[in-house]
Structure 1
Amino acid sequence: MITRSIAEFQQAFARLAPRAPACARAAFLITPLGFRLAEQSASDNRYMAMDQGVDANAALAEHAGLARRISAVLPTVCFPGDAATPDAVFPNNVFATAPGRSIIGRMRHPVRQREAQRPDIRGFFRGVAGYEEIDLSTLDGVAELTGSLVIDRARGIGYCGLGERCDAAGAAAMHAAFGLELTFCFDLAAGEYHTNVVMSVLAGRALLIAPDGFADAAVAAAIAQAYAPRSLLLSAAQKADYAGNCIALSEDTVWFSTRAAASLRPEQKAALADWGFRVETVPLAEIEKAGGSLRCCVGEIY
């Protein structure tokens, strides 16, 4: 089912018990070689720090630290970056997986459409992992994968924020490609580019959500209620610090950038601990100038 109806979402959610692994079994990253800020992406990503200089070497060091830390939890594959595709450090928008399938997104900007043609990543999933390739890159629409679509993998539910980075055709294509039971579509607030900046489902049992990232506050309230009492509401300031751009890489860990974790209030950190999550943090100040944070850097392999 694909729906924009809050009532239909609530009814369907109540029927969908956890049935699948909630967390990935491996991860892939793309290094920030030739790191710089992409002007095309800045046209609809207000989180980019276009007025600041960037240090490519510092970004490489941050990313290496991220890869090292993640590899202690999951098998982690790193692909090389390319100065011609400066946003490639955020691969989850272009490449994603479901069990037995690799999915290639339809990106809005040409600078990101080039990423989707990479033969090494396509070949890895086809030839090494043996996954069926589902190529949405020629779609007549926009579908920026797990940037636009936050997935509760345990229940097979997708939360799809519509805007300049994803439209109705893209939402339908991703619903089929990921094999979802339910996709709840809604409009993001003006100025928001990706759903994974305004919310995150943690291992199918908890939620972080920033209500002001939604055009309709009732949508955010309905999603929060679905995961209650394990729902944390994020302020606009916490969202701007990327607190919503976190990810559970195992059943007992949730990963934030250092900046994002610092924005959490003590009672929010205590709630995460009570729900069985250990907070892991990685410094990503240089990479965050490009308008994404830790979750955006992590491609999940299911």
Structure 2
Amino acid sequence: MLTRDTARFLASARDCAPDFGPATARAAFLVAPDGFGRAEESATDNRYMADAEGFDAARASAQHRGLQRALSEVLPTICFPGDPGAPDALFPNNVFATAPGILVVGRMRHPVRQREAGRTDIRGFFRDVLGYAMRDLSEQLHPCELTGALVVDRARGIGLCGLSERCDEAGARLMHEALGLRATLMFDLAPGEYHTNVVLAVLAGRAAIICPAGIADPAVVEAIATLYAPHAVLLSKDEQSAFAGNAISLSGDAVWMSARAARALAPSSRAALAAAGFGVRAVPLDAIEAAGGSLRCCVAEIY
């Protein structure tokens, strides 16, 4: 089921048992920030991006290596080289997503990022090394920036898809079908928001971090909070601006976010995460955040 009707979605999603698949990934991959800099095309609809003088490529590279080291303590984490001609290619989860045995390749809105979808090394790794089948959405016309636009509850097979310039309704349907989801809710992001995963995260299928200011319709916020009650953590605008919504769980006991995001967490938010069984693990990523994304954006999950 793919719908904009929050009541219909909620009725269906409540009946989805947590038997769709593993709640968290078995591995992850990153793409190094080689050629890191301000991508002017991406900046046209990413208000979180810093001005050109705010980019520090060397610091971003060091922080990215630190991220890989930290994540590798929890699950296998590999890193592909970056492309100096693709300055914001360090956010591969927008381009590549997986389901068990399947690699999905998305269609990016901006040409500067569309070239990432053609990478033969990443495609070859999944096809020839892991033996995954491929569902290639990169050549069709509708933007569908995968787990940037679509937040997925992997345990129950539920999708939460925020629509913007980077994902339209047709793109949402393509992603819903490619990942074989049971129920997906489509909704509009608030004006000025570009990706759902900056304002929403589902943690190991049992909790949600929600930034109400990032979602256009309060009824959508209420529906998602109801679905994950009592473990729906509603963040303030200040927490959202610090990328606290751009978080991910890679195990059942921790939520990962940037050090900036962790510092911004209100005591009540941290307590709510603890009540849901999640400790907060943080990595310094301020240089990377100049590109308008944070920790979750850097992590492409392997299921």
**TM-score above 0.5, yes or no:** yes
Report what 1:52 is aligned to.
Answer: 53
Output the CA distance in 2 between the equivalents of 1:106 and 1:56: 26
Report what 1:130 is aligned to.
Answer: 131
Aligned 8 A contact 2:201 2:209 in 1: yes
The AA in structure 2 aligned to 1:28 is: F
Aligned 8 A contact 2:235 2:269 in 1: no
The AA in structure 1 aligned to 2:230 is: P
Output the CA distance in 1 between the equivalents of 2:273 and 2:89: 31
Give 3-state SS (helix, strand or coil) of 1:48's partner.
coil
Report what 1:185 is aligned to.
Answer: 186
Report what 2:177 is aligned to.
Answer: 176
2:17 paired with 1:17: yes
2:66 paired with 1:30: no
Deviations 1:205-246 (A, max 9, x none): 001001111111111111111111101101111111100000
Pairwise CA distance, 1:53: 2.8
Unpaired runs of 5+ in structure 2?
none
Report what 1:242 is aligned to.
Answer: 243
Report what 2:266 is aligned to.
Answer: 265
Aligned 8 A contact 2:234 2:269 in 1: no
The AA in structure 2 aligned to 1:144 is: E
The AA in structure 2 aligned to 1:80 is: P
Give 3-state SS (helix, strand or coil) of 1:134's partner.
strand
TM-score (norm 2): 0.98
Pairwise CA distance, 1:140: 2.0
Give 3-state SS (helix, strand or coil) of 1:150's partner.
strand
Pairwise CA distance, 1:253: 1.0
Report what 2:285 is aligned to.
Answer: 284
The AA in structure 1 aligned to 2:296 is: R
Output the CA distance in 2 between the equivalents of 1:51 and 1:117: 27
Identity in percent: 63
Output the CA distance in 1 between the equivalents of 2:57 and 2:141: 35
Deviations 1:61-97 (A, max 9, x none): 0000000000110101100001101111000000110
Output the CA distance in 2 between the equivalents of 1:135 and 1:103: 6
Report what 2:257 is aligned to.
Answer: 256
**Equivalent residues in 2 for 1:65-80, closer than 5 Å:** 65-80=66-81
**Equivalent residues in 2 for 1:135-174, closer than 5 Å:** 135-174=136-175
Report what 2:8 is aligned to.
Answer: 8
Output the CA distance in 1 between the equivalents of 2:272 and 2:198: 20
Give 3-state SS (helix, strand or coil) of 2:70's partner.
helix
Unpaired runs of 5+ in structure 1?
none
Deviations 1:138-196 (A, max 9, x none): 11211000000000000000100011000011001000100100110001111100000
Give 3-state SS (helix, strand or coil) of 1:27's partner.
strand
Output the CA distance in 1 between the equivalents of 2:168 and 2:246: 21
Aligned 8 A contact 1:211 1:221 in 2: no
Give 3-state SS (helix, strand or coil) of 2:46's partner.
coil
Output the CA distance in 1 between the equivalents of 2:208 and 2:127: 33
Aligned 8 A contact 2:239 2:265 in 1: yes
Give 3-state SS (helix, strand or coil) of 1:77's partner.
strand
Deviations 1:5-30 (A, max 9, x none): 01101110111011121000000000
Aligned 8 A contact 1:67 1:76 in 2: yes
Give 3-state SS (helix, strand or coil) of 1:212's partner.
helix
Aligned 8 A contact 1:140 1:169 in 2: no
Give 3-state SS (helix, strand or coil) of 2:159's partner.
strand
Give 3-state SS (helix, strand or coil) of 1:196's partner.
helix
Report what 2:116 is aligned to.
Answer: 115
The AA in structure 2 aligned to 1:264 is: L
How large is the RMSD of aligned CA atoms in angstroms?
0.8
Pairwise CA distance, 1:51: 5.3
